[in-house]
Every structure is written in structure tokens, then in C-alpha cells.
Structure 1
């Protein structure tokens, strides 16, 4: 089987197609009621996160919810043994990839029971993990999750900063697909500053003209909803970033959009830092917090309030487990 397309660099770039390899399970709990008593609040949060974001690696989960990689590995192995989680490890050209975790059969059954639904209503099938492992979008999805898990985990070291909201591509599509289809939507908080933003994670596979065409949708969103989130575009390389900026600058200005770009050449593990450049002449790289200060007219997207049509599976999942959420400011 030929290799599936991947980004030339960055998260997921070295992955090639092969079957998902699930580690041997010594035992499984098929009784959901019994299993529920064995799971912690953090475990239940993780099942919702994997339903929401499809796949997270061991480092990403550890970053969000554990004090060390070792403690994360121990708990993840236990959850895998009980079929709450499934996992695979893609083949890499050199070295080895981290374990990639997805929602397992027991975890899907538990979520469905909590929501009063059949497992099939979750979109989960026995082939769930294999479909993700072989998906051409695996590298893209991992890149989005890598960027946003770093932002969410910022709270561990800086309690006043971090993500307070993070919607996946699927959740964003459920709300706004008739106008825009971002790769994610999130709220960055830092003290009194709020940066609501749509994220476009650009791997370089789309022509510049197609990326430019997306700006019309974001302008229509602002006009029709009377709300104004920023648009952050993250690219693979600095050269791709420069090409996008040259192509998008005039269009963004004409459409009155607040757009900033960055690339993996700069953001690395500190994407909140001074790596983002607004689309305007002579703009300098700045932090997410400074973007919020420069754009005081920003406002959160409409359609975020819960409705009678929502279930526990369609409501936003907190980016961190409840025990690790920052306390509300007085």
C-alpha cells in the first residue's frame, strides 16, 4: 500500500500508512456500570476529549492532564487494558512515534450511556481507530492538537493565561458550517485580555488562491452574526508564511478582517509567544495577548450558548480536567 500524503515537515510529517497496532489487553470490562465506578473524573474528561478531538498522543495528554509523562503512561495503559481507550503507533522513518490514543469500545459505550444514546449515534464504529490511523488528515489533525494543547497547558505555569474554550473542527462545523469551516475555534485568556479566534492550520497542501477564498466566508460570518473573532493562520514554514501574507494582505484589509499569521519555524512549544504577525504593513511579530490588546473590537463568535438541542456530547469540553481548571477570578 503506498504511503498516504503527509506534510513535508512538522507534526505528522514522518508518518506512513500501516495498520493500527493495538497493544494486547490482559482483560476488558464489558459491564459499563462496573467500569464507571473505576474511572476518575479525569478519565471521563479524557473520553470526552477523544470523542471531541479524535486523537491525542501521550505527550499531548500528559501536557494537559498529568504531572509527568510517566504518570500519564501508567494511567493510559490501565485505560487501554479496560478498552476505555484504543491506541496505535504509526511507523516513522527514524526513531519511534509516541502512542496515539483514540476512543475505545468501552469508552464509547460509557459516553453513549451518559448521553442516553446508542454507540452508533456517536459516530463510533469498531473500525474507528483504523480509520484515524490511515486518514490522510492525521498529520493535520495532530498539528492542530499540538498547537492548542500547548496553549491550554499554559495555565499550569501561568494560572491567568490559557485556553478557556476549545472547539474541534467538527464542533465548529456543527455551529457554523453554513458560513465557515475552521480547523478549530478557541478563546485565549490572559488576565483581562480575551482573544477569541478561528484557527486555520495550513500544511501547504492547498493553493494560495484557495486559502484566500476562505477569507470571504470569515467576512460573511462577521457581517451576518455581528460578532468578530480573529483569524489565526498557522503555516508549516516561514517561506509559506511570507507567501500567504503577500497573497492575503489586500483581501484581508478590504474585508476588514483581523488576521495574524505564524509558522512552525517560530511557534515551536510556546505558541502564545511573540510569533504572530498581523496582516498589515510593517507589522511586527507579537504575542497572542498583545493581539487582543491591539484588536479591542474583537468579540466571541455567536452560537456558543447551550440550547435545548444540545446533549452532554455536543456541549464544549473543558480544555483541562476540572480539577486543573483555574479558579474564577473575583
Structure 2
């Protein structure tokens, strides 16, 4: 992958994302999808699907989900990059060093298209795919959403009774419900007998409070139109923004009959299942996702999750964790 050009203005104009130019790829790439498939494991194919669904994941996020250690993840990711299944970039930062950021590569896109019986153009993948993601103004937002949900999914590795059994990206959510709402993600958190179906709004603080408040009417319209009642979780960056949101949204959430809880990165970063969420109710205290499910017995999964004739292999939900280990290198 060639070096990414520096934009003249906007995101990336000051700091250029470094492409993975130091990682040489063989002069003969896998052009035969059947040959490439024989060299890939079920976990590799799952990862290609995840990157198609969620656009970008860091080395640490991928390792958290699918590998026993960071080193083993790095080793396999290098191999997948060499075969163009993945592309990668590393944003330059003012301080420190950013982890490698992985996206779907050309061979990976061709592989997914072949498995789905589609032309590669139907995936929306272009040769500029990685560059567009690297310089997207929503990169930080997308990584923040994925950071929260990869931690939730990986919780199953250490707590067998807990799992993120379903995780839809913003794009998948929009495909189902964009005529009413556009959440940043939709997921099901399970812990024992408790299930918390929830929409996620990942608030970076860039939108004015009235605009955030206006979204609640859409979620209320969704519950009315579908007769289903998922929770709404709003995660923001700072405690002060969290308090401002709560002050602004409490009355509207009560009037609309919505089950809403908020938190911020000042409280939760690596354990979003923990006691960091506060329901939008008077005198409410911080609690866990599992206790939210217990406190809100009227919750139900969102409508529109069942497969339809319009679905393809690429529009069906991707399991948040990879399949059982095979003969993966």
C-alpha cells in the first residue's frame, strides 16, 4: 500500500497517517480466491467479516477478541497483511505511538465478495478504502464505539455467563432502522438470565445538547412503531459532559417513557459492564449493565433483526467472537 497523501485541510492535514510501507508484500499476491481460501482459517475469515462490518479495528482490539496474546495477534496480522487480506495504517500522534489500525484489504474484499456471490463493487470497497478511513473525521468516534464493544465481547473469555451475543455496527443499524433512528451501534448484553438489548449513542461532545435531546424523540417513535423496547445507553467523554447531558435529557426521557442510562470515559474505559451507568431517574446511582436489565423488566429486543430475502451473507450479523479455534497458525 503506498504512502497515504496528506490532505490539504481538515482531518490529517497536520498529522499524516503512516501507511504500513515497511511491511513488504510478496510480488505475487494471491489472485486466486480458491487458493487464498485454502491458506486461511475460519478465524481469518471471521476477521475479514468483522472489518467489513466495523470498518477499522486496532491490533489491541483484535487481540482482545480473538487471540491468546498480543504477540500471537501481531504475528498473524502481519501474515494477513502480506497476503493483502488486510491493510493497515498508524496515525501519527502528538505524543507517544498509536497502535496499528487494520482495515479490509483488496484480497480480503475479493474473498468476501466471492463467498457472497457478489461483485467486489457491491461491497462498496475501493482502492482508496484505507485512506478514506485514516482521514475520516469520524475515525476517533468509530474507534471509541469499537473500544467499548470489544471490551464487552471479550468479557466472555473470563466470565462464561457473560457475553455480547449480538453487535451491529452503525451501518447495519442504519440498513434496518434509518427511516426512524441512526444509533452508533446496537447490541445484546447477556449475563446469566439477564439480557440487556440496547442502542448505543457514543457522544464525543461535538454536537450541541439540543441536537442530542432531539434524538430521543426518534427512539420514542421507534418503540411506538415497532412495539419493542431496547434500552438507550449514552456514553460520552467526560464527567462534566455526562452531567450536562443528564440535566438536559432527564425530563424528555421521562416524558417519552424511555429507558436511558449514561456514563463517560472518566468512569469506564476497560470495563464497560461495570458499575458506571446511571439511569436517567431522580437520585439514581451508578450500576452495572446486568442490574440495568434487572431494573428495567419491560425491555425487549429491537424489531427487524430477523433475516429477510434481501439479506446476503454480508448483511447478516457477524458473531462478536471468532469461531472455535481451528488449525490456525
In structure 2, the residue matched to 1:47 is 48
Measure the CA separation in 2 of the matches of 1:201 and 1:19. Answer: 24
Q: Quick check: 2:17–2:90 contact (8 Å CA) kept in 1?
A: no
Contact 1:108 1:122 in 2 (8 A): yes
- After superposition, the CA RMSD in angstroms is 1.4
2:89 alignment counterpart: 88
Return the alpha-carbon distance in structure 2 between the equivalents of residues 110 and 173 of structure 1. Answer: 25
Q: Render the CA deviation track for 1:253-278: whole Å, top value 9, x for unaligned.
A: 00000000000000120000000000
| Aligned residue number for residue 245 of structure 2 | 244
Q: Please report how far the alpha carbon of residue 16 of structure 1 lies from its aligned counterpart in structure 2 after TM superposition.
A: 5.7
Partner of 1:18: 16
* Cα distance per residue 1:51-80 (max 9 Å; x no partner): 000000000000000000000000000000
| CA distance, structure 2, for counterparts of residue 86 and residue 3 of structure 1 | 24
Q: Deviations over 1:214-240 (max 9, x none)?
A: 000000000000000000000000000
| In 2: Cα distance, 1:143 partner to 1:84 partner | 24
Q: CA deviation at 1:94?
A: 1.0
Q: Work out the CA distance in 1 between the residues paired with 2:17 and 2:156.
A: 36
Contiguous gaps of at least 5 residues in structure 2: 1-6
Shift of 1:19: 4.3
Cα pair 2:229 2:302 within 8 Å, conserved: yes
For 1:71-110, what aligned pairs fall within 5 Å after superposition?
71-110=72-111
Mapped contact 2:15–2:93 kept (Cα < 8 A): no
Q: Distance in 2 between matches of 1:184 and 1:16?
A: 30
8 Å CA contact 2:52–2:104 kept in 1: the answer is: yes
Equivalent residue, structure 1, for 2:134: 133
* Residue of structure 1 in register with 2:265 after alignment: 264
Indicate how the Cα distance of structure 1 residues 25 and 137 shifts in structure 2: closer, same or farther if over 3 A, else same: same
Corresponding residue for residue 327 of structure 1: none
Counterpart Cα distance in 1 of 2:308 and 2:223: 22
Report the equivalent of 1:11: none
Residues 204/16 of structure 1: CA separation in 2 closer, same or farther (3 Å cut): farther
SS of the residue corresponding to residue 323 of structure 1 reads coil
State the distance in 2 between where 1:220 and 1:26 align.
51
Aligned-residue offset at 1:95: 1.2
Aligned length in residues: 316
Contact 2:153 2:164 in 1 (8 A): yes
Distance in 1 between the 2:188 and 2:44 partners? 24
Q: 1:272 to 1:4 in 2, by over 3 A?
A: farther
Under a length normalisation based on structure 1, what TM-score does the superposition of the two structures give? 0.94
CA apart distance, 1:25? 2.8
Q: Which residue of 2 aligns with 1:199?
A: 200
The 2-side partners of 1:3 and 1:272 are apart by 39
For residues 142 and 242 of structure 1, the distance between their equivalents in structure 2, rounded to whole angstroms, comes to 23
SS at match of 1:48: helix
Asked whether 1:216 is paired with 2:217, we answer: yes
Counterpart of 1:322 in structure 2 is 323
Q: Secondary structure at the match of 1:267?
A: coil
CA distance in 1, matches of 2:94, 2:324: 39
Q: Deviations over 1:185-241 (max 9, x none)?
A: 000000000000000000000000000000000000000000000000000000000
Cα 1:5/1:261, change in 2 over 3 Å: farther
Alpha-carbon deviation of 1:284?
0.2
Partner of 2:125: 124
Alignment partner of 2:232: what SS? Answer: strand
Change (3 A) 1:46 1:319: same
Pair 151,244 (structure 1): closer, same or farther in 2 beyond 3 Å = same
Quote how far apart the aligned CAs of 1:26 are.
3.0
Q: Any conservation in 1 of the 2:153–2:320 contact (CA below 8 Å)?
A: yes
